[in-house]
Structure 1
Amino acid sequence: MEAWDVISLAVYGATILLGLPSNALALYVFYCQAKTRLTPNLIYMINLCLSDLVFVLILPLKMLEMGKAEWPMPSFLCPLYNLIHFGTIYTSACFLTAVGVGRYLAAVYPIHYQVYKKACYSCLVSLGIWFLVGSHGLLIFALETARDINSTLFAGNDTSCFSELSEAQVALLAPVRLELSVVLFFLPLAITSFCYVRCIRVLVGSHLNKRKKQRAVRVAVATLTVFILCFGPYNISHVVGFIQREDIWWRNVAVLPSACNAFLDPLIFYFLSSAMDDGITQVWLSLRQKYSSIRLKITLAHGKARSQQPASGVA
């Protein structure tokens, strides 16, 4: 195996080990909070966790592919896998943008935002994001399985997935990749940057408690930094590939930071967000209470069973 393959396996393995439990815990915390009060940003975060969880759950297939000389699954699963793998990357980016917009509206227009701060609107926005990303993914899926340019794009020989592309295949796919990056990354990046910069300016000039103000600023800076570092390299590769009209060699390297986003998102929520801290505390207290209740019932049942046993020995 090449050095980059080993590094990729290490990154994907770490993403599974960190991303699976952290996103599962985050999803459970958000679910518990939603039962009490369902807010727009909570809906976006739930969808973000679901997207990251799906991404993590199919990563073993990617690792299996890298460890084999040939694509280990039936050829039709390759474009389907790509649809899910890369689709969840872009849904995560879009839901991070939705969270940023919600925070911006709440900070800059708190009164007017209350009129539109309804769960049904956020559900519609979430459905719109899944549809937008899904429609782009289906377009690439159709191109990947098209047979009018000598072979399928990624699994034409039934032995490999994401094999080297011919000039005709690159010419067809490069504009689609560029449109994908512009609509699903660069536009959300511009919106997210504007929202968090404005949020930071409002927070710095507000009369909030200094500790809360610093924490909110850290969340904004950390989220924006993760957004750029995780999704930027792969989408920049789309732009470079379109300009050079070739399938650039470092695309598989550029996609690695996108995988890291799957476990960085919940880490940001855990350690920087006071709302998540409160949610985890409530869940922990709830679990302790349930554990104590079950333990008490077991103790009472055990004591009752012992008291009902016949006395031994001779009277």
Structure 2
Amino acid sequence: MKTNVLGSTYTLIPDAMGAWKIISLVVYGTTFLLGLPSNVLALYVIYCRAKVRVTPNLIYMINLCISDLVFVLILPLKMLAVGKGNWALPGFFCALYNLIHFGTIYASVCFLTVVGVGRFLGVVFPIQYQIYKKPCYSCLVSLVIWTIVGFHGILLFVLESTKDLSPRLFADDTLTCYSNFTEEQMTLLLPIRLELSVVLFFLPLAITFFCYAACIWVLVGSHLHVQKKRRAVRVAVATLSVFVLCFGPYNISHVVGFVLRRDLWWRSVALLPSACNAFLDPLVFYFLSTAVDDGIIQVWQSLKGKCSSLRMKISLTHGKQGNQQKALSIA
């Protein structure tokens, strides 16, 4: 029996592990290649919209975009660890990497939830929500979310620094990272994983499902234009699908592991879909939004205008130079 860099125990089958390594690298590589440009574009579009008018949902979407972008930027470390089959950096970087990696995953979950809550309040209680809808409240909510996520990361750091735990949780040498758990470590780790899944996934999932279900119910029965109804339903279904398919398997592994009182071999498999969320958020969530669609059109028109102005200046400059050369030749 061997333990991989993700902390899951498996029976070592060379062909299967080689195929699994390729699949992991393809998923992480695709996430990096798609997630980096799409999140940068989404962040720029949302920033342009926020300069015109700041709304609570725009603040949440900026935070969500930043979370996904940070997740994507540290993926090369994961790809390096998967490719080499071990952790080649010092143990401190393993702990820091896991704090950022898992922290951004759960931060994305929370920001997806508060966006859904904002849309629910705007649809079901439009008048009351307009009275209390202030950007400063959204900034405060965002700060609370980052604090909660950071608290769980600090908790893992405390466990890492506990001398009674051996080998250490994250990296006891340069070959392993967050792996080779003893029974004593699993006794501490399993309840923490369960608490993470309940507080930062299953509870937000229930809130998100309720909010979007209520939004769909109200919008379908309203006098809104059919096309706008379809767009709203499409956004709701897409968001819930990403929520469940990306984050569900990994958090279910926490619950099953707690019930069985052991680490699961398929935990690393369940972690892969959560990586896909980083590029699915912009593709499915941002770009299905009317506001962002309008923002992309405005940005595109602005870029076209700047390019046309630049070409005109260049042509005028060349025209003046040509006229000057003709004048000199005549003289």
TM-score of Structure 1 vs Structure 2, range by shorter chain: over 0.9
Question: Alignment partner of 2:91: what SS?
Answer: coil
* Residue in 1 that maps onto 2:285: 269
Matched, 1:99 2:115: yes
Matches of 1:164 and 1:252 in 2, distance apart? 14
Matches of 1:81 and 1:56 in 2, distance apart? 12
Which of residues 218, 222, 239 is equivalent to 2:238?
A: 222
Question: Alignment partner of 1:255: what SS?
Answer: helix
Please report how far the alpha carbon of residue 314 of structure 1 lies from its aligned counterpart in structure 2 after TM superposition: 7.3
Q: Equivalent residues in 2 for 1:111-260 (5 A)?
A: 111-260=127-276
Matches of 1:230 and 1:24 in 2, distance apart? 21
Please report how far the alpha carbon of residue 172 of structure 1 lies from its aligned counterpart in structure 2 after TM superposition: 1.0
Which of residues 39, 43, 47 is equivalent to 1:31?
A: 47
Please report how far the alpha carbon of residue 122 of structure 1 lies from its aligned counterpart in structure 2 after TM superposition: 0.6
Aligned amino acid, residue 272 of structure 1: L
Residue segments in structure 2 that go unaligned for 5+ positions in a row: 1-16
* CA deviation string 1:150-202 (max 9, x = no partner): 22112012321122211111111111111111111111111101101101100
Matches of 1:107 and 1:290 in 2, distance apart? 38
Matches of 2:105 and 2:136 in 1, distance apart? 25
Aligned amino acid, residue 73 of structure 1: L
Please report how far the alpha carbon of residue 54 of structure 1 lies from its aligned counterpart in structure 2 after TM superposition: 0.3
With normalisation by structure 1, the TM-score equals 0.96
CA contact (8 A) 1:146 1:153 kept: no
- Kindly tell me the number of residue pairs found equivalent between the two proteins: 315
CA contact (8 A) 2:99 2:153 kept: yes
Aligned amino acid, residue 207 of structure 1: H
* Residue in 2 that maps onto 1:83: 99
Matches of 1:286 and 1:266 in 2, distance apart? 21
Matched, 1:45 2:25: no
Question: Alignment partner of 1:208: what SS?
Answer: coil
Aligned amino acid, residue 149 of structure 1: L
Matches of 2:179 and 2:195 in 1, distance apart? 22
Matches of 2:329 and 2:66 in 1, distance apart? 63
* CA deviation string 1:238-272 (max 9, x = no partner): 11111111111111100111001111111113552
Percent identical = 70
Question: Alignment partner of 1:247: what SS?
Answer: coil
Matches of 2:94 and 2:124 in 1, distance apart? 45
* Residue in 2 that maps onto 1:302: 318
Moved more, 158-167 or 74-83: 158-167
Matches of 2:211 and 2:285 in 1, distance apart? 18
Matches of 2:85 and 2:51 in 1, distance apart? 48
* Residue in 2 that maps onto 1:291: 307
CA contact (8 A) 1:105 1:113 kept: yes
With normalisation by structure 2, the TM-score equals 0.92
Matches of 2:237 and 2:161 in 1, distance apart? 41
CA contact (8 A) 2:167 2:182 kept: no
Matches of 1:188 and 1:162 in 2, distance apart? 26
CA contact (8 A) 2:117 2:211 kept: yes
Matches of 2:76 and 2:172 in 1, distance apart? 22
Aligned amino acid, residue 38 of structure 1: V
Aligned amino acid, residue 181 of structure 1: S
Question: Alignment partner of 1:76: what SS?
Answer: helix
Please report how far the alpha carbon of residue 302 of structure 1 lies from its aligned counterpart in structure 2 after TM superposition: 2.6
Q: Which runs of 4+ in 1 moved over 6 A?
A: none
Please report how far the alpha carbon of residue 69 of structure 1 lies from its aligned counterpart in structure 2 after TM superposition: 3.3
Moved more, 132-141 or 46-55: 132-141
* Residue in 1 that maps onto 2:13: none
Please report how far the alpha carbon of residue 22 of structure 1 lies from its aligned counterpart in structure 2 after TM superposition: 0.8
Please report how far the alpha carbon of residue 309 of structure 1 lies from its aligned counterpart in structure 2 after TM superposition: 4.0
Matches of 1:143 and 1:302 in 2, distance apart? 68
CA contact (8 A) 2:90 2:173 kept: no
Aligned amino acid, residue 265 of structure 2: W
Matches of 1:145 and 1:11 in 2, distance apart? 32
Matches of 2:33 and 2:97 in 1, distance apart? 21
CA contact (8 A) 2:60 2:114 kept: yes
* CA deviation string 1:91-127 (max 9, x = no partner): 0000000100000000000000001111111111111
Residues 313 and 107 of structure 1, relative CA distance in 2, 3 Å threshold = closer
